[in-house]
Chains A and B, each alone.
Chain A
Amino acid sequence: MTRNRWMILAMAPLFAVLLLFEVLPLLAVVASSFSRGGAWSLGNYAELIASGYHRNAYVTSAWLSVLTTVIGMGLALPICRLLQRVPDGVQTMILTYSNIGANFTGFPLAFAFIIMFGLSGSFTLLLKAAGLIEDLNIYSIGGLVLVYSYFQICLGILVIFPSLSAITVEIEEAARLLGVSRLTFWRRIGLPILAPSLIGAAVLLFANAMGTYATAFALAGGNATLVTIHIGELVAGDVFSDPNLADALSMILVVTLVVPILVEQLWFKRRGRHAS
């Protein structure tokens, strides 16, 4: 082969940027999470574990993420099934706008929800007039559930839709001809086929919610009891500034996100090998 050895230079700039602006910053966080007063220590972690304040934030972030992942998956899956049956043009349009929705986070999204569901928002007034609710506080944790669900559903549609092509019309018709009920079809055929992609999607949605900062910050400011907000406050807040504690909290967050991804990868790799 006569390939040009200099082609390795084509990769140098990107690897340099990845090293300087991704790998080293991450390693710096890891290293300083184990450092306290200039010495190696587990003190940051000990303080976090002992602190009810930060533990609360972690627990709130975790259940908010799990809940909105369930809502996102639960609504995105049937919506995608419906999308399979609409004309191509409509399908493309809806997928395009879901892409905008999944990216429509931070201030734009928070403000849109404040207009709709804020203290004097249209929907707040309508729902109150209909007697469905007594009070709605968009700035509370319930508000976060509502807003997170929005981008989780959009992201869910984006990641689930492509995988649905595995359930072809032929499979469904074959099952129907054999007299398989819809429920049995999904329990015995549909879900097992889709399981790897659905679990992958759920892991992605969970990580997405757990790592969300801008939207929560835009809605609740520095007051929300969430891991990402606490990290932000520990770094840049006026009241509590403790960068080392922020590092330790970040590490706990990263481990929480990496473990499900690794488990998912290993699990399906093993199963894949088993099946073949």
Chain B
Amino acid sequence: MRLDPLRLGLLALLFAILFLPIVAVGLNAFAVEWAGSVLPVGYTWAWVAQTVNDSRFAQAVGNSLILALGSLLASSLTCVPAILAAHCYYPKLDRWLGGLVVLPYAVPGIVMALGLLKLYAGNYGIVLTGSPWLLIFGYIPLGASLYYMPMKSSLNAMAVQDLLEAGYLLGVGDLKLQWRVILPCVRQGVVIGLILNFTLVISEFVYANLLVGGLFPTMQILMYVLRGGSGHLLSVLIMVYFVIVLIATTLVSLIVMRRKEAL
């Protein structure tokens, strides 16, 4: 490839875009003092040590992980069987499902949060606000498309009806066919859905802040709390968050690459 100045500039811009923000946060996490100079005047582990020893940090990371675990359990148990059943047996309902799962792309989080507050803040005798359960259920619609799209792309690429017919001829029931034949064929899609949902849950701020807030502080809520301080602790927290997301995203891209090779 020829690299004329224009392309070189674009490439440089791309790398700057991708890496500068996290480098800046990373430097600040280790900077002794960083104000009024282009680079920090010195580096230290003190902020990392202070953050790790801060009880709020352990609580926030713990809460985020508990929330993520609960969400993944709830979302996979609801979404995966429904997507399989809709695709295999109920194509009409599948069209509805397809529409409902992409709805959150057209309705901003703040609007959905407003609706949830209306229903579950006690106006109708149900109080879920302040409880992580509201987040666990609220995140299912937000993340359903992240299961739906990769699973559908696998399902559309295989002859599901032929497989089912072959199974029926052999006298195998639907449950066993789904469990032993169809699900194994779409498991990569399920895993991608799980990881993307994990990233969604630990990155989400709007629901966490408006619906639950300080009663169940997650990493994102702690970032909000720490925003006014020196910024060093906030930087350490962001780095921890970034590393978690980096690991999750790298896993997804490894799976996608393996998928491409298999095709």
Contact = CB atoms under 8 A, between A and B. Distances in A.
Contacts of A75: 10, 13
Contacts of B141: 17-18, 21-22
A15 B25 contact: no
A150 B79 contact: no
A214 B205 contact: yes
A50 interface: no
A100 B234 CA distance: 19
Interface stretch (A51-59, A111-119, A134-142, A171-179): A111-119
B32 interface: no
A14 interface: yes
Given A107-B224, A257-B107, A2 B168 contact: yes
Contacts of A207: 105-106
A113 B17 CA distance: 11
B206 A213 contact: yes
A3 B250 CA distance: 40
Contacts of A120: 35-36
Contacts, number: 237
A29 B115 contact: yes
A242 to B, nearest CB: 12
A125 to B, nearest CB: 5
Nearest to A19: B100
Given A3-B174, A116-B20, A213-B206, A108 B35 contact: no
Contact of A101 (B17, B27, B164): B17
Contact of A108 (B1, B137, B241): B241
Given A22-B100, A28-B115, A253-B111, A122 B220 contact: no
B119 A23 contact: no
B84 A10 contact: yes
A82 interface: yes
Interface residues of A, number: 81
Contacts of A17: 78, 137, 140-141
Interface string A89-119: 0001011111111011111110111111000
Interface residues of B, number: 88
Interface in B157-176: 164, 168, 173-175
Interface in A70-94: 75, 78-79, 82, 85-86, 92, 94
B-side binding surface: helix, strand, loop or mixed?
helix
Interface in B105-147: 105-119, 137-138, 140-141, 144
Contacts of A239: none
B77 interface: yes
Interface of B: 1, 7, 10-11, 13-14, 17-22, 24-25, 27-28, 34-39, 77-79, 81-86, 88-90, 93, 97, 100-101, 103-119, 137-138, 140-141, 144, 164, 168, 173-175, 199-200, 203, 205-206, 210, 220, 223-224, 227, 231, 234-235, 238, 241-242, 245-246, 249-250, 252-253, 257
| 5 A-B pairs with the lowest CB-CB distances in the bound complex, closest first | A25-B115, A211-B108, A112-B21, A14-B82, A107-B223
23 contacts: A3-B164, A7-B174, A10-B84, A11-B86, A13-B82, A17-B137, A18-B100, A21-B138, A75-B13, A92-B257, A99-B252, A103-B199, A106-B205, A108-B241, A112-B20, A112-B238, A154-B17, A207-B105, A211-B110, A218-B205, A231-B110, A231-B111, A232-B110
Given A25-B114, A125-B36, A212-B108, 10 more contacts: A3-B168, A10-B81, A22-B141, A24-B115, A96-B250, A104-B242, A108-B25, A207-B106, A214-B205, A258-B106
